[in-house]
Amino acid sequence: MKKRIRITALLLAAAMILTGCGNENTSSATDSGSSATSSAGTDSKEESSVADSKEESSEADSKEESSDAESSDEQTESKEESSVPETSETVTDAPEMSAPETSQTESKEENSVVETNPVNPDDTPDADPVYSAMIDRSLMELGNLQRMKAFFEKLEKGEEVTVAFIGGSITEGMTAGAELCWAKLTYNELCKQYPNAKINYVNAGMSGTPSILGNIRAGRDVLCHKPDLTFVEFAVNDGMEQEYKDSYEALVRTLLEQEGSPAVALYFTVIKSGHTCEKHMSEIGRAYGLPMVSLNNVLSVEFSEGRMTWEDYSDDESHPNVWGHEMTKDLIMNMMNKAKAKIAEGGIGAVEPVPEKWVNNDRFYGMEFYDDANPVEGFNMITTGSFNGTRDTIQQFPNGWAAVIAPAKAEPMKFTFEGKTLMLVYKCVKNSRGGRVRVIVDGEKTGEYSTQANDGWNNPVAVQVFTGDEGVHEVTIELVDIDGKMVTADILGFGIC
């Protein structure tokens, strides 16, 4: 059975490369690997895929220390670009078919692209009964379907809709690439089923990052596109600690509370070690009446009955291979098709308000992201000090501030914000020159945070640095002098609520 599945998947993958699909495509990417928001499951792959940053040979004696620091910083930035999978910004039309040309426009984010409906791929051959049963097992619940009903009604009327995907490297397309990842394949299938609708595609997958950072960046990467349906995938990037549960629920609730009552669906992945946050995430999904799909429901049975091994699904410890992404698309479309059939039976009422009661804590609700290109009401940057906003940070967070200086000579960053919680987002590096920052809020030190970690790979990390009473707070961020040597420290932005 699995050989027939794999052959079919490979044929389909080849067909998809030759065909296009005209709808709008917006890709976003990023990673996180250590400290408070380091991914619990998928980081092993990302870490191994990025070589350690090597420091350049010492400069001539006539060179200043700062030029040496800048050359080292440039090296780490070239490494970080290689750690993000390449994304294709265009869809190629099949030569034998007449298809609408791809229309592209720049989105609000530099790491986003917009694409319009692709040519429909060939029909999938009928699957055998074992494969069909496997796909059916993935469906945990359909939820109340009120929001999904509105989504399908728009499609059937040929209206414009936007489908967004937010998650980690599995959503971004690690191993399969931008065109063959499960998110793009799902989008392609929707385009095929609804050729008269204009369907916009937003891929906000960011490698190695958990829902803590997903909740911070949701406004920048997803909400600005006003999605009608968003798939959320963080089950292997999150951990079991309470901060992950609170962030995940805050993200789900924020997506649901947008204007137009958009639909939200949850996809729970699993890695080879068995790690998944499906249990506590499904409790959240159940409380909000959301459709939920489980990969573990599929693989656990196939493995125990000897029809599959992990290597059939993945080429590493975490990510689906090309066939795995194709199968994931089938899991998602199984849920979509069953939801549509259930809606057709009737009896689905109007959209109900989001439940008032939280499953977890609301401490991260209403989180907004601030950087040099994303202003937030109530945030006032007084001075960036020695953190230079003109230097490059990382591709996924290009509008932060970088310091390359001996801490004893550095000037602190100072700002005020209005709220009760402050999150610091910084670039985590492996090389020894990563600096340490001290955070002072309202005159009191709240903590020191190293931008260096043994598992760092120029990835973004978010950490809560303050929580307190609602109000205006004064913040100072300064470099910590440990040995008098020059260091680098990149602040990518802040999360505020």
Sign of the Cα pseudo-torsion (9, 15, 18, 23, in order): negative
Q: How far apart are CA 336 and CA 188, in angstroms?
A: 13
Residue 356 per-residue DSSP state: S
CB 34 within 8 A of CB 461: yes
DSSP E strand stretches across 211-262: 229-233
CB 173 within 8 A of CB 320: no
The confidence score (pLDDT) of residue 482 equals 81
The confidence score (pLDDT) of residue 4 equals 43
Low-confidence stretches of the chain (pLDDT < 50) are 2-23, 26-125
SS3 4: helix
Q: How far apart are the first and last CA of the chain?
A: 51
CB 192 within 8 A of CB 121: yes
Closest of 455, 488, 487 to residue 50, by C-alpha: 455
The confidence score (pLDDT) of residue 392 equals 80
Place of tokens 């809020």: 441
The confidence score (pLDDT) of residue 25 equals 54
The confidence score (pLDDT) of residue 468 equals 94
CB 277 within 8 A of CB 234: yes
- H or E element that contains 292: strand 292-294
- Give the CA distances from residue 377 to residues 364, 406, 431, 467, in Å, rounded to whole numbers and listed in that order: 17, 33, 36, 18
Q: How far apart are CA 266 and CA 387, in angstroms?
A: 39
Cβ count near 490 (within 10 Å): 28
Residue 42 per-residue DSSP state: T
Q: How far apart are CA 332 and CA 231, in angstroms?
A: 10
The confidence score (pLDDT) of residue 250 equals 98
- Give the CA distances from residue 272 to residues 296, 312, 348, 457, in Å, rounded to whole numbers and listed in that order: 10, 12, 39, 22
CB 329 within 8 A of CB 173: no
Amino acid 33 reads G
Residue 188 per-residue DSSP state: H
213 alpha carbon, distance to own chain's centre: 8
